[in-house]
């Protein structure tokens, strides 16, 4: 039974995909709820209040997936989650419209002094001359970060007769043209906008993007908005520029520390504020809760999630195409690890044909997960596989080749270490399934599943018969047997499959036979 904890007052109606499921027990509460054993939680759903730090992850050893019901993941230590193989998913577009609308409402309210006027009327005053505002029509809106929210805001601003200048280093000219905005440099936005609004994530690059120096490049009388993340506009610099009259006013939905407490900006009349309400609509909360709940259900169904922060995202169509190769790569990783039971310093995956057209980095991670499965005792999956390889000094390489060795596709693994090289090649044949077609340079053909025995031997008369006899004498039935050799009388290999794993005793008996070089058991 999977244990799921939905914290931070996630909208319960949106948790439908996790309710009444025979394999899921859903807890609604917080990480500090006395009646919830967080050690047993497999999936954690949060908004922004719960800080998913490495200390919290230490307390949650069963955790496999964190779902953020919203966009920003700055409350989650992604690097720590990744190291531990924990998938982080978010709901990237469920609150886009709500946040764009909130930003627009804040901009209109700021330009018309609505909150200030409202509070005076409530106090019984009627000061019409004190609240002369500015029209939005004809003004230049500067948008920094034209992603989902920035784009929706741009559409609304244009509908109000504003001209829109945008700074976003990742935006193409074509997209800017489609949205009817002017792609500009950062300096142009600073110098020409009447109102500037930020819609970027909070990153090393965007922290303090608007600071003492850059604010001094803005027009005198500029208005500023931050409905993205506290810290993109330096709060102390903003307070200074409002106090000295350069900035006419600001609308803030977010703060560096929330709640902001006794903050200098809150003392300024021309600053209007909301308590991080951008995504707080019934619609957005239902959307984001439903999106992450669906992702958790998909994850428990062992299918790839669509909006992972630390794994490549995949559509259903791509997943269906990649799934057989994903399985093959993982099995091949295990086969290489078991057949070549030695220290490895380099692993290279080479893809050809239809396999090379897929998201090969995902296949390489699956291959590593398979490779490490029986080598280390921490859980390795596609999330942390690269990190674990790096930690263990294994160089991981990826290549694409035009040579498919006569197949429609191949995956070849080359493992190197201590002067030894071991290779394995597999293919996926439509309507037939996965096959291993080469092992350590020997041409062979077997289905990678079940209980396998990899026997290296000399190509001498009677060897195969002796192996069969020993197994037969002990009542062991051979399900399949494949042999491969490079030249008559030289080194050869056998791959046998059994209905049940072979006992260690049986393996010792086979190892003692003449002309047997080495035996490795592989359970797939
Ligand atoms: N107030 C709220 O309640 C609320 C709700 C939702 C989202 N948000 C926040 O709004 C922000 C934007 O969300 P979104 O969904 O539009 O994200 P998004 O990823 O769709 O857009 C972000 C944009 O910022 C651009 N960008 C990144 N670095 C930049 C830089 N250095 N300079 C200029 N542009 C840069 C990116 O190219 C991208 O186009 C996020 O920080 C998110 O957390 C806040
Ligand atoms: O959960 C919230 O209400 C805030 C969400 C918002 O900041 C986000 O990044 O999606």
Ligand 1 contact via 199 beta carbon (within 6 Å) = yes
- Considering every ligand atom shown, identify the ligand nearest to the alpha carbon of residue 149 and give its number: 1
Ligand 1 contact via 115 beta carbon (within 6 Å) = no
Ligand 2 contact via 83 beta carbon (within 6 Å) = no
pLDDT grade, residue 317 (50/70/90)?
confident
Average pLDDT in the 19-45 region? 95
d(CA 404, CA 352): 5
185 Cα to the center of ligand 2, angstroms: 28
The residues with which 495 forms a beta bridge, in sequence order, are: 454, 482
| Cβ atoms < 10 Å from Cβ of 247 | 27
In this predicted model, what pLDDT tens digit does every residue of 206-257 receive, in sequence order? 999 999 999 999 999 999 999 999 999 999 999 999 999 999 999 999 999 9
Copy the structure tokens of residue 205: 């690059």
226 Cα to the center of ligand 2, angstroms: 13
What beta strand segments (E) does 358-477 contain? 395-401, 409-417, 420-429, 433-439, 442-446, 451-458
Say if residue 24's pLDDT is above 80: yes
Copy the structure tokens of residue 359: 């998201």
What is the number of the ligand 2 atom nearest to the C-alpha of 284?
A: 3
Ligand 2 contact via 468 beta carbon (within 6 Å) = no
- Which pLDDT value is given to residue 378? 78
Could you tell me where the DSSP H helices lie in 32-95?
Answer: 54-59, 78-83
Average pLDDT in the 21-39 region? 95
In this predicted model, what pLDDT tens digit does every residue of 33-63 receive, in sequence order? 999 999 999 999 999 999 999 999 999 999 9
- Which residue's CA is the nearest one to ligand 2's atom 5? 70
Ligand 2 contact via 72 beta carbon (within 6 Å) = yes
Say if residue 304's pLDDT is above 80: no
Say if residue 311's pLDDT is above 90: no
405 Cα to the center of ligand 1, angstroms: 46
What is the number of the ligand 1 atom nearest to the C-alpha of 205?
A: 31
d(CA 517, CA 506): 16
Ligand 2 contact via 92 beta carbon (within 6 Å) = no
Q: Which of 68, 70, 102, 256 to mutate to test the pocket of ligand 2 (most atoms within 8 A of CB)?
A: 70
| Cβ atoms < 10 Å from Cβ of 427 | 27
Average pLDDT in the 391-415 region? 96
d(CA 388, CA 380): 8
d(CA 7, CA 314): 27
- pTM for this predicted structure: 0.78
d(CA 294, CA 278): 23
d(CA 80, CA 77): 6
- Which residue's CA is the nearest one to ligand 2's atom 3? 279
In this predicted model, what pLDDT tens digit does every residue of 162-200 receive, in sequence order? 999 999 988 888 989 999 999 999 999 999 999 999 999
HEC profile of 455-471: EEEECCCCHHHHHHHHH
- Which pLDDT value is given to residue 376? 85
Average pLDDT in the 266-292 region? 97
In this predicted model, what pLDDT tens digit does every residue of 58-111 receive, in sequence order? 999 999 999 999 999 999 999 999 989 899 999 999 999 999 999 999 999 999
In this predicted model, what pLDDT tens digit does every residue of 448-503 receive, in sequence order? 999 999 999 999 999 999 999 999 999 999 999 999 998 888 999 999 999 988 89
What beta strand segments (E) does 51-105 contain? 65-68, 87-90
Average pLDDT in the 7-27 region? 94
* Complex ipTM more than 0.90, yes or no: yes
d(CA 17, CA 30): 20
Residue % of the chain over a pLDDT of 70: 100
| Distances from the Cα of 49 to the Cα of 10, 14, 27, 276, 417, angstroms | 11, 18, 17, 11, 47
C-alpha closest to that of 75 among 100, 56, 47, 99: 47
Quick check: bond before 259 cis, omega within 30? yes
Q: Active-site positions?
A: 229, 258, 276
C-alpha closest to that of 226 among 215, 235, 214: 235
- Which pLDDT value is given to residue 316? 73
């Amino acid at each position: 039974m999977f244990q799921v904890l939905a914290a931070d007052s996630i909208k319960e109606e949106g948790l439908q995909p996790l309710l009444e499921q025979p394999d899921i027990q859903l807890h609604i509460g917080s990480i500090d709820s006395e009646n919830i054993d967080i050690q047993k939680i497999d999936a954690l759903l949060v908004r922004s209040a719960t800080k998913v730090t490495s200390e919290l992850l230490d307390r949650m050893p069963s955790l496999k997936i964190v779902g953020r019901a919203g966009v920003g993941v700055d409350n989650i230590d992604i690097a720590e989650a990744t190291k531990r193989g924990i998938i982080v998913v978010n709901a990237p577009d469920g609150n886009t419209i709500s946040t764009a609308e909130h930003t627009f409402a804040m901009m209109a309210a700021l330009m018309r002094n609505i909150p200030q006027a409202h509070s005076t009327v409530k106090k019984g005053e009627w000061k019409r001359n004190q609240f002369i505002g500015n029209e939005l029509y004809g003004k230049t809106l500067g948008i920094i970060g034209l992603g989902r929210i920035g784009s929706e805001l741009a559409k609304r601003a244009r509908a109000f007769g504003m001209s829109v200048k945008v700074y976003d280093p990742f935006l193409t000219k074509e997209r800017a043209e489609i949205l009817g905005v002017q792609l500009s440099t950062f300096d142009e936005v600073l110098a020409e906008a009447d109102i500037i609004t930020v819609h970027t994530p909070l990153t090393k690059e965007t922290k303090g993007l608007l600071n003492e120096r850059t604010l001094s490049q803005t027009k005198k009388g500029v208005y500023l908005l931050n409905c993205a993340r506290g810290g993109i506009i330096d709060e102390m610099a903003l307070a200074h520029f409002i106090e000295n009259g350069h900035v006419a006013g600001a609308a803030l939905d977010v703060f560096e520390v929330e709640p902001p407490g006794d903050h200098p900006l809150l003392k300024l009349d021309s600053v209007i504020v909301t308590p991080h309400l951008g995504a707080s609509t019934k619609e957005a909360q239902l959307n984001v809760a439903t999106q992450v709940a669906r992702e958790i259900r998909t994850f428990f169904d062992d299918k790839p999630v669509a909006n992972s922060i630390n794994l490549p995202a995949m559509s259903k169509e791509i997943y269906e195409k990649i799934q057989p190769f994903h399985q093959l790569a993982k099995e091949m990783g295990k086969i290489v690890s078991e057949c070549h039971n030695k220290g490895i310093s380099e692993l290279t995956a080479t893809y050809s044909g239809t396999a090379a057209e897929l998201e090969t980095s995902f296949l390489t991670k699956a291959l590593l997960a398979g490779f490490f499965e029986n080598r280390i005792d921490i859980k390795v999956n596609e999330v942390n596989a690269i990190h674990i390889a790096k930690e263990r000094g294994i160089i991981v390489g990826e290549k694409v080749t035009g040579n498919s060795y006569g197949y429609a596709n191949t995956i070849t693994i080359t493992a190197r270490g201590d002067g030894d090289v071991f290779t394995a090649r597999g293919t996926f044949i439509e309507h037939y399934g996965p096959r291993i077609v080469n092992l350590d340079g020997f041409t062979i053909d077997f289905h990678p599943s079940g209980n396998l025995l990899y026997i290296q031997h000399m190509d001498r008369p009677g060897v195969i018969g002796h192996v069969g006899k020993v197994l037969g004498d002990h009542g062991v039935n051979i399900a399949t047997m494949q042999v491969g050799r490079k030249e008559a009388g030289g080194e050869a290999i056998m791959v046998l499959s059994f209905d049940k794993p072979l006992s260690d005793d049986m393996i010792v008996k086979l190892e003692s036979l003449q002309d047997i070089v080495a035996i490795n058991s592989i359970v797939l």
